[in-house]
Structure 1
Amino acid sequence: MLIRIRSKDGNFRHELDSNADALVLLRKISEHSPNIDEDTVTISNQPRGAETKLSSLKGRTLKSLGLNHGDLVFVQYKEKSTGPSIQAPPSSSQAASSTSTDATHRPWDLVQEDPVDVYWRSKDGKIPRQRDPQFCKHGPKGMCDYCMPLEPYDVAYHKEHGIKHLSYHAYLQKVAPKSSGATQFIPPLNPLDYRVKVPCPTGNHPSWPSGICTSCQPSAITLQSQPFRMVDHLEIASTDVIDRFLQAWRRTGMQRFGWMIGRYEPYDKVPMGVKAVVEAIHEPPQEGELDGLTLGLPWEDEPRIRNLASQSSTPMTIVGYIFTDLDPREEDRTKNVYKRHPGSFLMSSLEAIFAAAMQAANPTPSKSSSSGKFSSRLVTAILTGTEDGAIDMSAYQVSEQATAMVEADMIEASVDPGIVRVKEEDRSVDSARYVPDVFFSYKNEYGLEVKKSAKPAFPVEYLMINVTHGFPQNPVPVFQSTQFFIENRLIEHQTVERVLTQLSALGAPDIPDSRHRKPGDAQKAFELAKFLSDWHLVAFLDTTQLFPPNDMKVLMKAATSPTIMSDASQLDPLIATDGWQTLMTFTRENAPAQQGSALGSVMDEDIPQDILDQIAAEQAAAGGSGPASGAASGAATPGIKTCPHCTFENDAASTDCEVCGLPLS
């Protein structure tokens, strides 16, 4: 077969056997470059990026590398040093180790992908079709063009079902079909990078900003709709998760932010689709305001939270983040302003840039990428007002182009939330920002496609990717309770004493393992299991140092066991741990001090006086309605149920206590 080679020495053609060893290429390249350093030779299927060291491909045939007749291979190398050098020869073990490392330790070979990626890589993704009674003329076991399965990237199927974006794995099938029979020696995906290459690959001039050439500068950018999306659907495991998150806003009127804890699963509504399932929302330290919030980054507690989430019965991780943008109407405080719609903006430029920064910090491990990482599955969810004044959620991601532009420091937010500004080029040593030409296209009033410069600004929609969202019809959440106080809230205060009080009210110290339980202990065991199956409780206990690391793993697995509410024996491993016995000892010692305590007033005492004054003013102006409605004032109020277990004041319509989760009697 004919293989074309392009290097800095020129273009060359060679007739090679498809079953020849890959190092045949190295010998052919050396024929035209007598001073070549063979250890530095790299090949690629594109002019820049995705280079693979040729010596690492020893033992593989040209056919197995995916090379076909007429293919063009781009070659780069360094020349041998002309100066004398003395170097000790490597030992035989070092040489063997070096060869083995070059052959196997490529970034994409070492990647451990998410279970959902492992699942879809084992499937062909074909879309099955039934026999067409009108056009199919064959028998029930036959197949023709009218009933044969479709490829997962079939354009007509996506258009018919209103699917705007290909799923990630359908896109992979399109760019690198599994049926091609050849193993690609270079992964098909290459992360976008709009930064100047430093140093320049040619080495012919000083590095940027002192010098620049066509080899190290990024090409012009044309903003386009991304054909694929990394996540096709956002699923909230239970409505209680969102209601509990909104409770802080309803009590104070201040906006809130939270990291969504969950996992990724196959999504059957899209060919080879992926959905993010949210089981809990963890709220980091923040300062909420009426029209925004302040968030501290980097998040110091992130490693602990990720580690804790990974220890659940079904490992979880951070799948995205959610925040509120709610503003009650002046004329009716029970309804919210409809501010995000196609006529204004759906996602502000500041939010899009923040999303790009977060996605860049959370890349997706991928065996199909030359770097071992590609794009991100982090989802942005926004809770805001609808046209009728209710509250609804919208979900988005930003494109690979958005992430690359933010990493290159090319864009910034503008005063108009629907517009993104392109920064000016800066050749100073401190910033050294290079901004290539940026274009975007649109259809004019005559329906013609027009390309326009994106400088100085362009619509934020060119960076956005829509993600569908919803709730399951038959919820089966991992966490059975959302009643424990939530971290980093001024209106809720997590304390060990509160945990001990609630455990004592449940009779936890007197509940033995399943082998020694009496018939009357069964209900108590199930109530205890529900109380412990709470993300915020487990995350808080992880900070108390009452449980050693191994015991925390046992607690996390018990709290997330799918059968914990039907089989209370799932608590047995937890009850046997030293950490649990220590906690029960403190619970017994704390029991006498519980009588006469007024724990229900803790939430009120934690609310700053200025917020209480604001709540009172809003209630007076709106007749007790609005986001602050329901905030306790500390005095007896009609329509309030006081919990007999922890004395917390609940709404009259409640059947279970919002704090301890026990029935109100």
Structure 2
Amino acid sequence: MADIVVRIYSKSGRSRITLPVSSTLSSLKEQISTHLLVPSEKIILTYESGKRVQGTGSSKLKDLQIVNGTILNLQSEAQIPIMESGPPSGPMPLPELAPQLSTEEHEKETKEQHIRKCTHGPGTRCINCFAQEKPSEDKKKTEDNTWLCRHGPEAKCVNCLKDNFVAGIKHDSYDHFMAARMAKCQHQGDSKCANCLPPAEANYKIKECTKHAPWPASICNSCMPTTAVLARQPYRHVDYVELMNVRDVTELVRYWQQNHSMEQRGGFMYGYYAHDPNYPDGVRAVLEAIYEPMQYGDTNGFQFLDDPMSIYADMIAENLNLEKIGWIFTSINHDAFLSSYEIRQAARYQQEFFAVHPSGYKVSKFVTVVLKPTDDGNAMPEAYMVSDQAQALERDKVFGEPESRRRLVKRKPNDKELLPTIMCENKPAEEFQPEWFIVSLGCGMPKKSLLFLEHSDFPVWNRAKVPTKLDIKQYLQKYRNEPTYKKFSNFHLLIAIAHIVDIDSACEIALCVQHQKEVPRNIIDILNS
């Protein structure tokens, strides 16, 4: 084997480093520094067991038990939180004697940085550009801010890499948004101000109050629901959706087009999150596989049916070290980016799948991908999320059932309920456009596929043709010359094994695929019997 792949896990996500089998520890650290923008002299690597990787820069990787498929955890001696999650997105706090921008200059510079005109990364083939937008005026040349850099000679940050970031972004990455706010802080490091704190979590329910009898007997300013002022969200929790598994997307489109796109279809996307170097502190969602639950579809949409066996997909994904990153579906409607029904469903999924950010703020990275037909007979994917405000309004049951897919409405409360006032453009509103809540993401396919799951050519479960054990045997015969962990590197195959054989065998095979170990012979004999 000429090259090996080493998997690096860090706080910003997962990365794969490809390098010659004869490489040294020093060359591995240089590759990590290049990919993750962490100074090589500050890199600390540990094995899965937690034990630190020991050795000098000239130590051979094979002598350190670092072989093809090895997983290493990345830590850093640098105590700079932004450096741990990617390139710094703004001026770092400087010593008192260092020159600093005035508040007005910084706000002007930050505003100009955020006016960009493109949503795709330069290293990918974009299929979600908004070509109808008019190009913005030529920007003024920004001054050289390399003197603001706080890192070593081998690292880069936003001050020395501005021109390499994607332009025209409508929403900043959340970490970059917070860093730009914190750069305005004027106090000591042990103090806090409004700029240091994350956005307040919205709550549109009646608050508990001990000053009087509960509603509907009485109400006061302290306990009445917070007014919802509609505003477009300036940040996003995912910047780019990379459709790494192009074949799964293509097969979904092909199956959809067999009925002339008259029966809409959807599925859940499994993959992982990684740092995206094309955006300041960017986050990329990488698609590895699609699972299509039991569902019913017609011209206007689809509905997932009760599918108790869908938990198999979650279990297999967990053993592959993948997670549910979003949902994907087809649509023939071009009258809206997302309909009112789709926004509400996306809000429910985002509320279900969330994590706590280091700042203490609850964030969701569950993305929505829509496949829409184009004039030339193909399909164009568009990636979105809904705002945190939409997520909170749906969670607190403020939205009602709309009559139109182009409008969202406030629910009619009963006599014992009190819903918040919704302000739209400085006026109370009972219905409003979905665009207030849409957060657009970049979306595209890689120039070079780096799929963890190497195969996708197996019949998809829950379609018209149900896979059988004969299909499994024929598939294994097709790839008989490959190592077992590689031939079983197929999500749809593992789903079929879970249903036809048993879930325990499927999960054991998935673990072998993840760690690139040979599948036990007794399981293969069962499949071939």
Q: Per the shorter chain, which TM-score range?
A: 0.5 to 0.7
CA offsets, 1:389-423, max 9 Å, x none? 53101111100110111122212353332221122
> Which structure 2 residues correspond to residues 191-590 of structure 1 after superposition, within 5 A?
191-197=201-207, 199-200=208-209, 203-253=210-260, 254-296=263-305, 300-312=308-320, 315-326=321-332, 339-340=333-334, 344-369=335-360, 374-428=362-416, 432=417, 434-441=418-425, 451-453=426-428, 455-489=429-463, 491-503=464-476, 505-506=477-478, 524-526=480-482, 531-546=487-502, 548=504, 552-560=506-514, 570=516, 572=518, 574-576=519-521, 578-584=522-528, 586=529
Task: Give the conservation status (yes or no) of the 8 Å contact 2:89–2:281.
Answer: no
Distance change in 2, residues 1:225/1:476 (3 Å): same
Over the residues paired in the alignment, what is the CA RMSD in angstroms? 3.5
1:126/1:149 contact within 8 Å kept: no
- Indicate if the aligned counterparts of 2:90 and 2:179 stay in contact, CA closer than 8 A: no
Aligned-partner Cα distance in 1 for 2:450–2:499: 28
Amino acid at match of 2:438: M
Q: TM-score, normalised by structure 1?
A: 0.53
Could you say if the C-alpha distance between residues 425 and 542 of structure 1 is closer, same or farther in structure 2, counting changes exceeding 3 Å? same
| CA distance in 1: counterparts of 2:524 and 2:197, whole angstroms | 49
Cα distance, 1:192 vs structure 2:
1.4
C-alpha contact 1:542 1:552 (8 A) present in aligned 2: yes
Report the identity percentage. Answer: 23
CA pair 305-390 structure 1, distance change in 2 beyond 3 A: closer
Gaps of 5+ in 1: 1-113, 130-143, 327-338, 442-450, 507-522, 562-569, 587-665
1:169-212 deviations in Å (ceiling 9; x for gaps): 11232345699632769963442111112x32xx1223334432
Using CA pairs under 8 Å that are at least 6 residues apart, name the structure with larger relative contact order, 1 or 2: 2
Does the Cα contact within 8 Å between 1:263 and 1:276 map onto a contact in 2? Answer: yes
Distance change >3 Å, CA 427–CA 128, structure 1 → 2 = closer
> Residue 344 of structure 2 aligns to which amino acid in structure 1?
I
Q: Which residue of 1 aligns with 2:123?
A: none
Helix, strand or coil at the partner of 2:481: helix
| 2:164 counterpart of 1:164 | no
Summarize the Cα distance change of 1:524–1:123 in structure 2 as closer, same or farther, 3 Å threshold.
closer
**Contact conserved, 2:373 with 2:379, CA < 8 A, in 1?**
yes
CA distance in 1, matches of 2:235, 2:158: 12
Work out the CA distance in 2 between the residues paired with 1:183 and 1:125.
25
Counterparts of residues 26-41 of structure 1 (less than 5 Å): none
TM-score by length of 2: 0.65
- The amino acid of 1:192's aligned partner reads A
Q: Given the superposition, is the C-alpha separation of residues 204 and 157 from structure 1 closer, same or farther in structure 2, using an over 3 Å criterion?
A: farther
Mapped partners of 1:413, 1:152: distance in 2: 45
Moved more, 418-427 or 145-154: 145-154
Secondary structure (helix, strand or coil) at the match of 2:226 reads coil
When residues 223 and 546 of structure 1 are mapped into structure 2, their CA distance, relative to the original with a 3 A threshold, is closer
Pair 222,178 (structure 1): closer, same or farther in 2 beyond 3 Å: closer
State the alpha-carbon separation in 1 of the partners of residues 452 and 184 from structure 2.
35
Quickly say closer, same or farther: Cα 1:192–1:206, change in 2 above 3 A: same
Measured in 2, the distance between the counterparts of 1:416 and 1:291 equals 12
Q: Secondary structure, in 3 states, of the residue corresponding to 1:526?
A: coil
Deviation at 1:123, TM superposition (A): 4.8
C-alpha change, 1:477 and 1:461, in structure 2 (3 Å) is: same
Q: What's the offset of the Cα at 1:494?
A: 2.1
**Tell me, what secondary structure is at the counterpart of 2:264?**
coil
Match of 2:35 in 1: none
Could you report, residue by residue, the CA deviation over 1:135-183 in whole angstroms, capped at 9, with x for unpaired residues? xxxxxxxxx96433488699x9899921221112112323456996327
* Structure-2 separation of matches of 1:272 and 1:389: 37
Name the aligned partner's letter for residue 527 of structure 2: L
Q: CA deviation at 1:384?
A: 0.7
Distance of 1:463 and 1:290 partners within structure 2 = 25
Q: Is the 8 A contact 1:244 1:482 kept in 2?
A: no
Q: CA deviation at 1:247?
A: 2.8
Q: 1:206 to 1:544 in 2, by over 3 A?
A: farther
Contact 1:175 1:188 in 2 (8 A): no
Retained in 2: the 8 A contact 1:262–1:279? yes
Distance 1:123 1:405 in 2: 30
264-273 vs 384-393, which moves further: 384-393
For 1:209-229, what per-residue CA distance to the aligned partner results, in whole angstroms no more than 9, with x for missing partners? 443221111222211111110
Residues 606-645 of structure 1 show CA distances to partners (whole Å, capped at 9, x for unaligned) of xxxxxxxxxxxxxxxxxxxxxxxxxxxxxxxxxxxxxxxx
Q: Once the two structures are superposed, what CA deviation does each residue of 1:431-467 show, in whole Å capped at 9, x if it has no partner?
A: x3x22221123xxxxxxxxx333x2211110011001
For residue 263 of structure 1, give the secondary structure of its aligned residue in structure 2.
strand
What is the letter of the counterpart of residue 171 of structure 2?
Answer: H
Stretches of structure 2 that go unaligned for 5 or more consecutive residues are 1-72, 92-142, 150-156
3-state SS of 1:480 partner: coil
Is 1:230–1:274's contact at 8 Å kept on the other side of the alignment?
A: yes
State the secondary structure of the residue aligned to 2:337.
coil
Deviations 1:494-524 (A, max 9, x none): 2234323443x44xxxxxxxxxxxxxxxx83
Q: Supply the distance in 2 between the matched residues of 1:476 and 1:435 (Cα, whole angstroms).
A: 49
Kindly tell me: are residues 212 and 366 of structure 1, through their superposed partners in 2, closer, same or farther at Cα, counting changes over 3 Å? same
What secondary structure does 1:466 align onto? strand
Cα 1:547/1:399, change in 2 over 3 Å: closer
Q: Give, in whole Å, the separation in 1 of the partners of 2:324 and 2:81.
A: 20
Q: Which residue of 2 aligns with 1:36?
A: none
Q: 1:524 to 1:390 in 2, by over 3 A?
A: closer
Provide the rounded CA distance (Å) in 2 between the counterparts of 1:318 and 1:252. 28
Paired with 2:291 and 2:493, the residues of 1 have a C-alpha distance of: 11
Alpha-carbon distance change, 120 to 557 in structure 1, aligned in 2, over 3 angstroms:
farther
The aligned amino acid for 1:541 is: I
Residue type matched to 1:559 in 2? V
For 1:274, what is the secondary structure of its paired residue?
Answer: strand
Matches within 5 A, 1:53-92: none
1:125 paired to 2:135: no
Q: Displacement, 1:525?
A: 2.2
- Measured in 1, the distance between the counterparts of 2:524 and 2:88 equals 50
Q: Which of structures 1 and 2 has the bigger CA Rg? A: 1
